[in-house]
Chain A
């Protein structure tokens, strides 16, 4: 990469703190997962409550605005309810989940935690198709019905989930695709459907499922405007896993995306030399809701 010039994204403010509470451990092994989560992947490990609380305390000292908890599958972490309680004491929380483990009693516990806090709790539930054939091809046999059950359990408790769809579903992000998905969600019982559509990140398992990045999919030699930079999530967020503090939730498998041991080590600019940076810039991707 000598002679190559990449744009640099300053950290304007540490607003959003991501914590990978379940590491790369997941009960599923989706074929498009950009960090290749699975039951056997402990590249990043489960984070016990005490470790998460340390991150939350540091984030609070730094004046963070919001928290995102992810994995892998956060509901595999046996401390997840205590973690959520601790996080909700400090600010609004979003949890990214495959929804498959959210039984009615879990949904009731989540509602109780939400009610006890001043702040909002959001559940982001991943779904990759409006029929079992499309979804299960990516997420695994039988997952479609289990995801919908989890989403319905949340809605029944008044925790209206945000359904996250990737562009594995052809045309999901178009006007027609969105309209179709929203109609489908209403039809399965979500009366106020909330939807987020994510472009594909051609990393991890996704590289085998479809493809990796093409040579011209890069930010090399590009100049980004202040508006471009502000729109990138790395201008206002950072991620902490069991292995340290990273620039964002996407690049946790990249050694040079690890900026240090703790959040305080990440308060500096980042050079956008990774292929995934292209996706963020080109498609306006943000992992935030």
Chain B
């Protein structure tokens, strides 16, 4: 585990799993900059799911966006056989493998090597609050922290054990936050890569900012050209199930991992 210290920020944009959705990434960058963030940090999982994974990596590198590793970057840079997403159901793992194979086959060796140089964690401060950035959880790159299965007592333990006031993470694809007290809690920034399983085609990122001397978190929706992404996914012969999610906003795959409540909110 490696940690990079990014310093203090007044306002920062945090991007979750991009899943090769370079169109959403470009749009999110525009929106974040229009909100005058000091910086943007990407929390890993640049590939998977969508088309032309190299395009996403090229944008991140050209824009010099600080980034930490997700399980995808860890797997791709170490030539692992699968994404190590942490799914337990064979149905999820079957689709995850299709996604990983396509991403691996369409990510250059140079980009994969770059992924190996990324830190696993980052630290920064906002309004004097110590923020720890990680992909899944502070202790495990592929641990799922869902809203309905991450209780307060556990959040308190994580914060104490890892010396943070706020943990920002992704990996689940669903954004949420839970604060134990002002400036102390967890923010899952969601994903830019696929919609939040709510029947809407927009995706999400998070902004942390100093609001009146205290850390505040906000979730920002991103409307992007999802029809174009869908066309490109079809042209790349990606599974119809993946395209359907982009076009409808409902998850069709990798949903056996969802806790009861998150699963019940979805269509499938």
Contact = CB atoms under 8 A, between A and B. Distances in A.
Interface in B231-268: 256, 259-264, 268
Interface residues of A, number: 26
Contacts, number: 61
Given A92-B148, A158-B264, A160-B264, A120 B153 contact: no
Interface string B147-161: 111110110111000
Contacts of A192: 263, 268
Contact of B90 (A59, A114, A160, A178): A178
Contacts of B260: 114, 120-122, 159-160
Given A92-B148, A178-B90, A60 B153 contact: yes
Interface in B197-245: none
B94 to A, nearest CB: 10
Contacts of A90: 151, 153
A65 B139 CA distance: 14
A13 B139 contact: yes
A64 B259 CA distance: 17
A73 interface: no
Given A92-B259, A194-B256, A119 B149 contact: yes
A206 interface: no
Interface string A126-161: 000000000000000000000000000000001110
Contacts of B150: 65
A141 to B, nearest CB: 32
Contact of B153 (A91, A114, A121, A122): A91
Contacts of A62: 153, 157
A246 to B, nearest CB: 22
A105 interface: no
A63 interface: yes
Contacts of B154: 15, 63-65, 91
A194 B150 CA distance: 21
Given A63-B157, A160-B263, A92 B149 contact: yes
A222 interface: no
A92 B149 CA distance: 5
A65 B256 contact: no
Secondary structure dominating the interface of A = loop
Interface residues of B, number: 22
B27 to A, nearest CB: 32
A66 B268 CA distance: 25
A125 B116 CA distance: 43
A159 to B, nearest CB: 7
Nearest to A60: B153
A159 B260 CA distance: 8
Nearest to B139: A13
Given A91-B154, A175-B90, A194-B256, A65 B149 contact: yes
Nearest to A117: B148
Nearest to A286: B88
Nearest to B264: A158
Given A175-B90, A192-B263, A194-B256, A119 B151 contact: yes
Contact of B151 (A13, A91, A122, A194): A91
Interface in B143-188: 146-151, 153-154, 156-158, 178
A263 B2 CA distance: 33
A119 B263 contact: no
Contacts of A282: none
B151 A92 contact: yes
A118 interface: yes
Contacts of B259: 92, 120, 122
A158 B266 CA distance: 12
A175 B93 CA distance: 12
B97 to A, nearest CB: 14
A251 B7 CA distance: 49
Contacts of A15: 154
Given A120-B259, A120-B260, A178-B90, A64 B268 contact: no
Given A64-B153, A121-B260, 19 more contacts: A15-B154, A59-B153, A62-B157, A63-B153, A63-B157, A65-B149, A90-B151, A90-B153, A91-B151, A92-B148, A92-B151, A92-B259, A118-B147, A119-B149, A122-B259, A160-B263, A175-B90, A192-B263, A192-B268
Return the 6 tightest CB-CB contacts between A and B, nearest first. Answer: A63-B157, A91-B151, A120-B148, A120-B259, A120-B260, A65-B154
27 contacts: A15-B154, A59-B153, A63-B157, A64-B154, A65-B151, A65-B154, A90-B153, A91-B149, A91-B151, A91-B153, A92-B148, A92-B259, A114-B261, A118-B178, A119-B148, A119-B149, A119-B261, A120-B146, A120-B259, A120-B260, A120-B262, A121-B260, A122-B260, A160-B264, A175-B90, A192-B263, A194-B256
Interface of B: 90, 139, 146-151, 153-154, 156-158, 178, 256, 259-264, 268
